[in-house]
Structure 1
Amino acid sequence: MTSPAPQSPAPQPESKDRVYRSAPAMAGGVLLLALTAWLGIDAVISGEGRTPWLALALMLLIVPLVVAFTLRPAVYAGDDRLRIRNPFRAVALPWGQIASLKSAYSNEAVTESGTKYQLWAVPVSLRARKKAARREMRASAQARRAMGRDEGRGSALGMRAGLGAASGHGQVSDGPARAETDRIMDELRGLHEARREAETAQGEVTVRWAYEVVAPAVAGAVLVVVLLLAG
């Protein structure tokens, strides 16, 4: 009696990429597309002479640009690479090729060769940073007041109660208050540090132009110029 052949281990499911987008940009893009469609269709239906053709040409120009700058940008963070989808380009960066992820007035991925790629889908909000800093200052002030009350009582029980009251306000957490996009960059940096030495996270940087956006926008611009010159 022959023994059964050993079964090969079941393949492990691939982990899904983390996807980051700008919710305000997407909401604004939907509104702009709705407004463009409303005005453009109205001009096509009720316009006279070359107005309908000019409206169609303008829609062909405007719609791809609105999509490019609002709905298209996204950042995909996987185990092996960071994929950046910007308005006119898509960039695939293996973690091993990324030297750093910087945040200043914009969030950028810097490669080992020094090339910078901006993360359009993760925009920097100075207002959100200031708001987070104010929250952190209020949390620190509450914690100091709670500690002061506890020291005045001179009681360990009072200290525990004071710290519990401070955390009850939802201000004392495991870390400092951070703006949403700064927290996203912290996550990307953590993934970068964890995966940059992995064998599967090596390779070449690839860049692809978004011709599906560029081509109709250029065609629309050419048609608008031709119609305007035709008078």
Structure 2
Amino acid sequence: MTRQDRTTPPPQQYAERSYRSPAALVGGVLLLLLGGWLGADALLRGAPHAKLTAVFALLLGVPLVAAFTLRPLVRAGDERLTVRNPFRTITLPWGAVEELRASFSTEVFTTAGKFQLWAIPVSLRQRKKANQQALRGAGADTPRFGRDAGAGPAPRAMADQALDELREIKERVAGRADAQGEPVVRWSYAILAPLVAGAVGLVVMIAL
């Protein structure tokens, strides 16, 4: 009789979750379209000085708009939390994450300091509306329309709900061996280089 090998099963894998601001994405696309239209018009019809100014304005404006609207992203996997902010990308193993908090902005506290989550903005108006709905539900004493007044989860603002999900992932995987390590911060030079070039060029053109 052969003895069957017994191996430890691998940790359960979960699908990655990504968080972005739909309003920022829409606003960014609209601003880029507007800037592209104005820039193209200046390049086609403007004088040489206006054309060169338009080039530097686009070099400055396009990466700046993209940085604050299209770029921000939070991605949560089994091993790490990746935070993509306007000018930096922060990779945080879950073991290094100490706390996730949302007050006037969403923030992650780590062994290396505090980082803001640009991709998960806090809407005070949305939070106030959710709190009012929760209070109305808690104050209802009798069932209405055949449903219990307390049935279903209490309404939450989008930022608070996203942080609840991130905290749940952290609690589930923070103790795993493959979720340990130190935070890594990288600057986005693909955004910074054209932005600086555009800003310097605009200053020169204005001074001429």
- Give the TM-score normalised by structure 1: 0.82
- 1:14 positional shift: 6.0
- C-alpha separation in 1, matches of 2:66 and 2:12: 33
Q: Which residue of 2 aligns with 1:82?
A: 81
Task: Determine which of 179, 187, 211 is the counterpart of 2:189.
Answer: 211
Shift of 1:139: 1.7
For 1:78 and 1:106, the matched residues in 2 are separated by: 22
Residue 12 (structure 1) shift: 9.5
Unaligned runs of 5+ in 1: 1-5, 147-161
Aligned ranges for residues 23-38 of structure 1 at < 5 Å? 23-38=22-37
Q: Measure how far apart 1:164 and its partner are.
A: 6.2
**Is 1:174 aligned with 2:152?**
yes
- For the 8 Å contact 2:19–2:120, the answer to whether it is kept is yes
1:191 counterpart residue number: 169
> Which residue of the partner structure matches residue 158 of structure 1?
none
Identify, as 1 or 2, the structure richer in helix.
Answer: 1
**What amino acid maps onto 1:51 in structure 2?**
A
- In 1, Cα distance between the equivalents of 2:172 and 2:11? 20
- Tell me, yes or no, if structure 1 residue 52 matches structure 2 residue 51: yes
Query: CA offsets, 1:151-189, max 9 Å, x none?
Result: xxxxxxxxxxx366244xxx6443221101110000000
Tell me by how many angstroms 1:141 deviates: 2.9
CA distance in structure 1 between the partners assigned to 2:188 and 2:150 by the alignment: 45
Partner residue in 1 for 2:133: 135
Q: What's the CA shift for 1:80?
A: 0.6
- 1:15 Cα shift? 4.3
Question: After alignment, is 26-35 or 47-56 more displaced?
Answer: 47-56
Deviation, structure 1 residue 16: 3.7
CA distance in 1, matches of 2:165, 2:185: 23
Segment drifting more, 43-52 vs 61-70? 43-52
Quote the residue 1:101 is aligned against: 100
> 1:46: how far off?
1.0
Structure 1 residues 136 and 14 mapped into 2: Cα distance closer, same or farther (>3 Å)?
Answer: closer
1:116 corresponds to 2:114: yes
Partner amino acid for 1:192?
K
Structure 2 Cα separation of the partners of residues 14 and 130 of structure 1: 36
Structure with max Cα Rg: 1
Residue 165 of structure 1 is matched in structure 2 by 146
Q: Cα RMSD over matched residues?
A: 2.2
| TM-score (norm: length of structure 2) | 0.90
Alignment CA distance shift 1:37-1:13 (3 Å): farther
Q: Give the C-alpha shift of residue 207 in structure 1.
A: 0.5
Distance 1:174-1:44 versus aligned 2 partners, 3 A rule: same
Summarize the Cα distance change of 1:14–1:91 in structure 2 as closer, same or farther, 3 Å threshold: same
1:220 aligns with 2:198: yes
Structure 2, gaps ≥5 residues long: none
Deviations 1:33-72 (A, max 9, x none): 0000011101111111400110111011000000000000
1:102 deviation in Å? 1.1
